[in-house]
Chains A and B, each alone.
Chain A
């Protein structure tokens, strides 16, 4: 037992001292997310507002190739709404006999179309930078949605002595502080369908919620099932342990 305790202590020591990213950026702000923790779920109203921000602001530059219109059902859109949303967007159509395709209205099964035909086209606009795809953005950084929130709120005037080259913007949370994305949000950038005042922090929070859903469309279902699985396993463990006690009851050990 003492050995076990010592080994556990060693483990605890090692885990408590896990690496902190060596960066010059301030620590991420503390933000509350509805989907935090084992029982948290995605706030569908926030995610729908976030979708509006994505559609009206982010999608001008960022692709989201893994996400399909039908996936919007996961944040509470009805099949009718989804069909209407898809139909309002032009997606690449099937190629004709000459191999050329012309845009057609989208269907629920289509993926979201990308703003730039190629990476090179995006690079030409952004001085060599490519706006990253947003399908997995909420999983692609340490801090996840909090990092996205921080970046969107992190634009500042550069401190004296720092020169910001053209096509770059000063952002306190971005590693190296010089980001190629112009500040995408300003108060009132979108008019929310549900009447929520569209402040920058509000929009940042909503779009980060939406992107968390985009990156983890099964998160709510996963946790729901998880609760049942764990409860079931605890029950089975109890039974098995009782059986073990019974089997071993005639043994001196």
Chain B
């Protein structure tokens, strides 16, 4: 019956049927967001990818409206932002949503990453999801950094100056690169213009990589808190309605947090540095130049090395090492639930990152120098030594036979069956 060249489909609605026969978007949505077999045992940590996606949408929409009234010039930027805050209808709300959204984006992403670390979501066959995730992280950082420059406050200017200067540490070509980034001999109008252009561009590149991230996910399927493979249909549920509704609960709670920050404490210093209420002044350096909280751990790594180039290398290395995580972790077991040593090392690693953040927020004097160095070294020890080593040494706990067995309270396999080759990541 199918006419030549047309895609067969079962949609009753004639318009949907007609479109789908020529462009099978409805079939694709049906397959990927309705039927998509999803492990039935997710906990709420599996909400955070969806939360980040919602956050991305909020950022793009509010950003487009901000751009309508923003003036990307050193003479006009600060005033145009104030104009948005005071005179544009609902401008204050749009801007606070964008500001708070930037912070919450990193909150969701960091939880998302630590979730992946704990449950071994980066391991085979999900290496590609993970690596695309690291690309997303880098893009997100670049976008946030450039966005922070746009309101042209004191921290905008001095943060941009400090961070772009890092590239000056590269031997031989460093200074040339910095001049090239600036479009001149200091952070100035050309810098602001290009940052604005890129800040508008990068979120759409993020959307592109997000599509790839999800394609990779839907190719191999989701991991789950047990970290064991799906053994059959009894282990899964169709994505819709089970996970659409569960994600909706998460989104609602998340929006409550969002609203509390936007409407009641938008000027909390972690959201908006007081110094950014002062227009950029290249002749007056603030007493402390502190990056936004989400960069503090990396800032601490940078400053814990006495040598500038060394600091820059360790800073970027701390993110790039994530690309190799799927191969650095040698354990055949994914979920830390069954890894008696690694679960505690995971806790230690989380604490380590918080310590780095704390150190990054303080001047590098006294105890903070030592603390920063210890925490930096621990970061790398965890990644480069413990992950490969513990994977070999650790004796994992017995894994449940299947997701549904475990859900129904079925016993674990006898310990002789620990880490059967089937579970090898």
A positions within 8 Å CB-CB of B: 3, 6-7, 10-11, 13-14, 17-19, 21-22, 38, 65-66, 71, 132-133, 135-137, 139-142, 144, 175, 215-218, 222-223, 225-227, 229-230, 233-234, 236-237, 240-241, 243-244, 247-248, 251-253
Once the chains bind, are B259 and A11 in contact (CB under 8 Å)? no
> With contacts A140-B277, A140-B278, A217-B86 known, what are 10 further pairs, Cβ within 8 A?
A3-B118, A22-B362, A144-B267, A222-B263, A226-B259, A226-B262, A230-B259, A236-B252, A237-B252, A243-B245
Partner of A241, one of B82, B249, B407: B249
| A29–B277 alpha-carbon span in the complex (Å) | 23
Once the chains bind, are B259 and A233 in contact (CB under 8 Å)? yes
* A contact residues around B241 at 8 Å (CB): 247
Total interface residues in chain B, CB < 8 Å = 54
| A17–B259 alpha-carbon span in the complex (Å) | 25
Q: List 5 A-B contacts (CB under 8 A).
A: A10-B350, A140-B277, A141-B274, A230-B260, A251-B40
Closest to A137 in B: B277
Question: A3 with B264: in contact, given A140-B277, A233-B259, A240-B252 (CB under 8 Å)?
Answer: no
Once the chains bind, are A135 and B262 in contact (CB under 8 Å)? no
What is the distance, in angstroms, from B157's C-beta to the closest C-beta of chain A? 14
Closest to A17 in B: B358
Once the chains bind, are A66 and B242 in contact (CB under 8 Å)? no
What is the distance, in angstroms, from A70's C-beta to the closest C-beta of chain B? 10
Question: A237 with B256: in contact, given A226-B262, A247-B242 (CB under 8 Å)?
Answer: yes
Closest to B82 in A: A66
* B contact residues around A142 at 8 Å (CB): 269, 274
**Cβ of B354 < 8 Å from any Cβ of A?**
yes
B positions within 8 Å CB-CB of A: 40-41, 79, 82, 85-86, 92-93, 96, 114, 118, 237, 241-242, 245-246, 248-249, 252-253, 255-256, 259-260, 262-264, 266-267, 269-270, 272, 274-275, 277-279, 287-288, 336, 343, 347, 350-351, 354-355, 357-358, 361-363, 404, 407-408
* B contact residues around A237 at 8 Å (CB): 249, 252-253, 256
| A18–B293 alpha-carbon span in the complex (Å) | 10
Chain B interface SS verdict (over half) = helix
Once the chains bind, are A22 and B263 in contact (CB under 8 Å)? no
| A217–B84 alpha-carbon span in the complex (Å) | 12
Once the chains bind, are A10 and B351 in contact (CB under 8 Å)? yes
Partner of A253, one of B259, B278, B358, B407: B407
What is the distance, in angstroms, from A142's C-beta to the closest C-beta of chain B? 5
Closest to B265 in A: A38
Once the chains bind, are B277 and A215 in contact (CB under 8 Å)? yes
Once the chains bind, are A19 and B362 in contact (CB under 8 Å)? yes
* A contact residues around B249 at 8 Å (CB): 237, 240-241, 244
| A237–B245 alpha-carbon span in the complex (Å) | 11
* A contact residues around B354 at 8 Å (CB): 10-11, 13-14
Chain A interface SS verdict (over half) = helix
What is the distance, in angstroms, from B228's C-beta to the closest C-beta of chain A? 16
Closest to B287 in A: A175
What is the distance, in angstroms, from A146's C-beta to the closest C-beta of chain B? 12
Closest to A39 in B: B264
* B contact residues around A248 at 8 Å (CB): 242, 245-246
| A240–B253 alpha-carbon span in the complex (Å) | 10
Once the chains bind, are B278 and A244 in contact (CB under 8 Å)? no
| A133–B278 alpha-carbon span in the complex (Å) | 9
Closest to A225 in B: B263
What is the distance, in angstroms, from B81's C-beta to the closest C-beta of chain A? 10
Once the chains bind, are B245 and A240 in contact (CB under 8 Å)? yes
Partner of B347, one of A6, A218, A226: A6
Partner of B41, one of A13, A240, A253: A253
* B contact residues around A227 at 8 Å (CB): 263
Question: A139 with B274: in contact, given A223-B264, A233-B256, A247-B241 (CB under 8 Å)?
Answer: yes
| A253–B43 alpha-carbon span in the complex (Å) | 10
Once the chains bind, are A230 and B263 in contact (CB under 8 Å)? yes
Once the chains bind, are A139 and B277 in contact (CB under 8 Å)? yes
* A contact residues around B277 at 8 Å (CB): 136-137, 139-140, 215
Partner of B358, one of A7, A14, A217: A14
Once the chains bind, are B278 and A132 in contact (CB under 8 Å)? yes
What is the distance, in angstroms, from A149's C-beta to the closest C-beta of chain B? 16
Question: A252 with B86: in contact, given A19-B362, A139-B277 (CB under 8 Å)?
Answer: no
Once the chains bind, are A22 and B363 in contact (CB under 8 Å)? yes
Partner of B93, one of A71, A222, A233: A222
* A contact residues around B270 at 8 Å (CB): 18
| A223–B262 alpha-carbon span in the complex (Å) | 9
| A14–B354 alpha-carbon span in the complex (Å) | 6
What is the distance, in angstroms, from A21's C-beta to the closest C-beta of chain B? 8
What is the distance, in angstroms, from A220's C-beta to the closest C-beta of chain B? 11
Partner of A14, one of B93, B96, B262, B357: B357
What is the distance, in angstroms, from A223's C-beta to the closest C-beta of chain B? 6
What is the distance, in angstroms, from B354's C-beta to the closest C-beta of chain A? 4
| A164–B279 alpha-carbon span in the complex (Å) | 29
Question: A140 with B256: in contact, given A10-B351, A175-B287, A252-B408 (CB under 8 Å)?
Answer: no
* A contact residues around B287 at 8 Å (CB): 175
| A241–B237 alpha-carbon span in the complex (Å) | 18
